[in-house]
Amino acid sequence: MKLSYPHVFERATDPAAPPLVLLHGTGGDENDLVPLGRRISPGSALLSPRGKVSEHGANRFFARLAEGKFDPAEVTRRTHDLADFIVAASVEYDLDPQRLIAVGLSNGANIAAAILQLRPGVLGGAVLLRPMVVLDQPAAAGSLAGLRVLIASGAVDPIVPVTEPPRLAALLRSGGAEVELHTSPASHALASSDLSAAVKFFSSLRAR
Ligand code: MLT
């Protein structure tokens, strides 16, 4: 079957490791987060699509009006399009949606959060690196029950105001998700403490 996003897929080498969907940041591509995925969850299957929107040549998962300004209709349409791809790819590659963890960076984290808000059932959890609120709507009550989410923010991030991560956490908790907030002494770029927090998140998932 022809899947609707250019992507890379790596098979699992450890069946106990959860499959990951890797969602790159603005200007990235499907190869960007593969080394990160291998590092934070060794042995996981890795599904990594490339965003279809081009902002002056920089790949993204949805268009924006300006930095930090979003059109909810555009975000909603692109969220459903990516969610449909993930559902189709999960069938094609035999990935269990209940175990499927999105690992998104910046724009990729934002669309992963939107999938949790709009399409519960597509993902089994998420690691959101430097997300902000792009859809100001709470997840439907009970729709994210039992799901675990890590939100990793930077204390001196010039793009994400410090009020955003707790606001996003509240929107996801409305659906019943168990959300952990982690703040690194970092800016919008990832730091080593983000990686340690993600590694800890995956070991505690596996310990359950
Ligand atoms: C976004 O547009 O999703 C956010 O501003 C993050 C970014 O891509 O810089």
Which residue's CA is the nearest one to ligand 1's atom 7?
107
Which residues in the chain belong to E strands, given as ranges?
7-10, 20-23, 46-49, 53-55, 58-60, 101-105, 125-129, 148-154, 178-184
Q: Which atom of ligand 1 is nearest to the CA of 60?
A: 8
Nearest to 105 by CA among 126, 130, 70: 130
pLDDT of residue 207: 83
Number of structural domains (the chain) is: 1
**Residue 2: inside a domain, yes or no?**
no
Using DSSP, state whether 205 is helix, strand or coil: helix
Does residue 115 lie within any of the structural domains?
yes
> Would residue 162 count as lying in a domain?
yes
Domain CATH code at residue 22: 3.40.50.1820
In short, whether 24's Cβ falls inside 6 Å of ligand 1 is no
**Which DSSP symbol is given to 7?**
E
Using the mean position of ligand 1's atoms as its centre, give its distance from the Cα of residue 75 in Å: 12
Q: pLDDT in tens for each of the 208 residues of the chain? A: 689 999 999 999 999 999 999 999 999 999 999 999 999 999 999 999 999 999 999 999 999 999 999 999 999 999 999 999 999 999 999 999 999 999 999 999 999 999 999 999 999 999 999 999 999 999 999 999 999 999 999 999 999 999 999 999 999 999 999 999 999 999 999 999 999 999 999 999 988 7
Tokens 């969850």 found at = 41
Is 196 known to be catalytic? no
The reply to whether 61 falls in a domain is: yes
- Atom 8 (ligand 1) nearest CA: 107
Strand 101-105 versus strand 148-154 pairing type: unpaired
Full domain range(s) for residue 192: 7-207
Q: Answer yes or no: 4 catalytic.
A: no
Which pLDDT value is given to residue 142? 98
Task: Give domain status of residue 108, yes or no.
Answer: yes
pLDDT of residue 1: 67
